[in-house]
Structure 1
Amino acid sequence: MTHSIFIDGEAGTTGLQIRDRLAGRADLEIVSIDPARRKDADARAELLNGVDAVILCLPDDAAKEAVGLITSNTVRVIDASSAHRTASGWTYGFPEMDRDQRAAIRKARLVSNPGCWPTGFTALMRPLTQENLVPADWPITVHGVSGYSGGGKGLIAEFEDHAAPAGTDDAYRPYGVNLQHKHLPEMKTFGGFDHPPLFTPAVGRFAQGMIVEVPLPLWALPGKPKSADLREALADTYLGEAFVTVASAEECVALQKARAGAAGYVADLDPQALNGTNRMKLFVFGNDDRGEARLVAQLDNLGKGASGAAVQNLNIMLGLPEATGL
């Protein structure tokens, strides 16, 4: 059986990567809109209601508009925007998040694809809040660096056309300094917290890939857990998962010793290491003498953080082998 798919917004960064991942599959037929009719609401509505599944790769307002055009109750929808991630009636598209999440995605008609930052944050923190290793009311902080592709066409143009007057030579740029990032509700909800984290994101001069990091003062947590307790909770949660893995204690220690010196540089934790994949790797670096830990998620912001996750969710929703095309 061949399933028909319409990617609304296929010319954008995420849409292009989804289309590339779906290209050549005999089990799917990709339907495209006539470019001349791209802004024709009737033409879009016809496609949105005439396929088996729709993947929305649009800005939030446009995604809401597209959902409003869907009148069919059989079309399956994956929204890659942040418009519906905590909305009632939508299922969160992080299959590894809970034991029953895959089943929920399989049954759902409306699935919201997770954001890249929340994917790393939720993967690290949800198992710890679920096990009460970190209290739900803990004042949690999350930091990291992402490729500039996560900022959309404007930021991509700015970083890639740095010779132009509107371009930039910045090597690193903090953003979200107004402390009102749109990912905050999602991170709070699915991370298992009573309030949003203090989120300090940044972009670097590389196109894609990311590191998401959560520092934890273990000495201050109620149960005073050891770093091994955190790693064990993560390892138990993702045991047997194909796309989310947890670095062994030995690997983390080896990384901590790599190019060790007084500064403790980690030479091999590259934010671009998983680019082009749907994989995410989690690390727990600890110093139990100081009662401190640094939790790190490594992923491709356009892979497991966007297009790869969308394809994974599509496969689950259509009853196809989950790893197909990934």
Structure 2
Amino acid sequence: MTYKVFIDGRHGTTGLKIDERLAQREEIEVLTIPEDKRKDTAVKAEYINSADVVFLCLPDAASKESVALLAPGNTRTRFLDASTAHRTNPDWVYGLPELNAGQRDRIRNAQKVAVPGCHASGFILLVHPLVAGGIVSADHPFSTYSVTGYTGGGKEMIASYEAPAELPDSMKSPRFYALGLQHKHLPEMKTISGLTNAPLFTPIVGNFAQGLVVSVPLVSRTLAKRTDPQSLHDYFADYYKDEVFVRVQPFGDPSALDNGFLPATACNDTNRAELFVFGHADQILLASRFDNLGKGASGAAIQCMNIMLGLEETRGLAA
């Protein structure tokens, strides 16, 4: 069977990656809107309503406008939205299959799925199990930071790193950003993790194209259930034991690191997320590592598409 797919926003970073991945799929026919018709609303509506799956790789407002073009009564066309527009909308299913035991079925049966944000994916993979298991209270004052490649910032940030013949010294070092503490991923980080308050979150962009590490520090005495790093590692290993794309790395094994360092790029060009637990009796550091363009964007979207179409979940994706 052949499935028709329309990528709305095909020329953006995520859209290009989805298009690249789907080009290798014999069972997928990518519908390509003529260049001179891209802004013709009537033509776009035709493409949306003729597709089995529509990927929305657009700014939030444009994403909502495209969803509104779905014809009344059309229950066949299914949406996967890579913007932040619908991630906390109860009418949309959050596209993280590994979230809990029922999430995969929710995605399978959904017409509208919101693809998670990259930073949010890493935070939620670490925090949601803790809240669900009562290890951490829902009102815990979480803080988190991430180190990401510049492709996570979209076309403008990519150009700022790749266009100059020589980068200014200020861009050669890692740089904190979103220092107003209102990053667009915060609502889903709070809601999907089951928290009553958003975490304090500061991302850091580095002078490398792709790769991401999200870290979450914990102080043992503040947890709802007192635990230690080994026990927490075992809990994560059991929680994700049946998952192909989420791998809990061995605890205390030097081979899981690079001479004691945790580089952000080790999962690049895969759909794999690796989880780490570090620390001692009093302090624990959790970390998740993945490709911000893979499990953090296009890979996650295609994983959800596979589930929605009843295909092998891993099809076209490297673990």
Task: Establish whether TM, by shorter chain, passes 0.5.
Answer: yes
Helix, strand or coil: the match of 2:231? helix
Cross-structure match for 1:47 = 47
Choose which of 247, 255, 260 in structure 2 pairs with 1:245.
247
2:153 corresponds to 1:151: yes
Say what the alpha-carbon RMSD is for the aligned residues: 1.7
Q: Does 1:102 align with 2:104?
A: yes
**Residue 297 (structure 2) aligns with:** 306
Give the alignment's TM-score, normalised by structure 2.
0.95
Aligned positions, number: 315
- SS, match of residue 201 in structure 1: strand
Corresponding position: 1:281 with 2:274: yes
What is residue 95 of structure 2 aligned with on the other side? 93
Look up the match of 2:283. Answer: 292
Answer yes or no: is the 8 Å Cα contact 1:148–1:204 preserved in 2. Answer: yes
Is the CA contact 2:250–2:256 (under 8 Å) kept in the aligned structure 1? no
Residues 1:173 and 1:3: Cα distance change in structure 2 (over 3 Å): same
**Paired residue for 2:5?**
5
On the 8 A contact 1:92/1:105 being kept in 2, the answer is yes
The amino acid that maps onto 1:219 is R
Q: Which residue of 1 aligns with 2:24?
A: 24
Of residues 228, 231, 251, the one that matches 1:229 is 231
Tell me if the contact between 2:249 and 2:256 (Cα under 8 Å) persists in the aligned partners. Answer: no
The equivalent residue for 1:35 is 35
Residue-by-residue CA offset, 1:83-134 (whole Å, 9 max, x unaligned): 0000121000000101011100000000000000110000011111111111
Q: Is the 8 A contact 1:129 1:136 kept in 2?
A: yes
Moved more, 123-132 or 164-173: 164-173
Post-superposition shift, 1:70? 1.3
Query: Take 1:46 and 1:167, find their aligned partners in 2: how far apart are those partners?
Result: 49
What is the distance in 1 between the residues matched to 2:256 and 2:22? 35
Specify the code of the residue in structure 1 equivalent to 2:275.
L
1:62 aligns with 2:62: yes
Within 2, Cα distance between the matches of 1:109 and 1:167? 47
Per-residue deviation, 1:310: 0.5
Tell whether the 8 Å contact from 1:172 to 1:205 is kept in structure 2 after alignment.
yes
- Quote the residue 2:14 is aligned against: 14
Say if 1:284 and 1:38 are closer, same or farther in 2 by CA, change over 3 A: same
- Give the match for residue 187 of structure 2: 185
Q: How far, CA to CA, are the matches of 2:194 and 2:234 in structure 1?
A: 18
Structure 2: distance between partners of 1:70 and 1:281 = 37
Distance of 1:247 and 1:165 partners within structure 2: 35
**Cα separation, 2, equivalents of 1:121 and 1:57:** 22
> How far 1:219 moved relative to its partner?
2.4
- What is the CA distance between 1:170 and its match in structure 2? 3.5
Query: Structure 1: which 5+ runs fail to align?
Result: 260-265
Distance 1:165 1:305 in 2: 26
Q: How does 1:129-168 map to 2 (within 5 A)?
A: 129-163=131-165
1:275 deviates by 0.6
Q: The residue matched to 2:217 in structure 1 has which SS?
A: strand
Secondary structure at the counterpart of residue 169 of structure 1: helix
Q: Is the 8 A contact 2:134 2:224 kept in 1?
A: no
Determine if the alignment matches structure 1 residue 111 to structure 2 residue 113: yes
Partners in 2 of 1:241 and 1:145 — Cα distance?
24
Residue in 1 that maps onto 2:177: 175
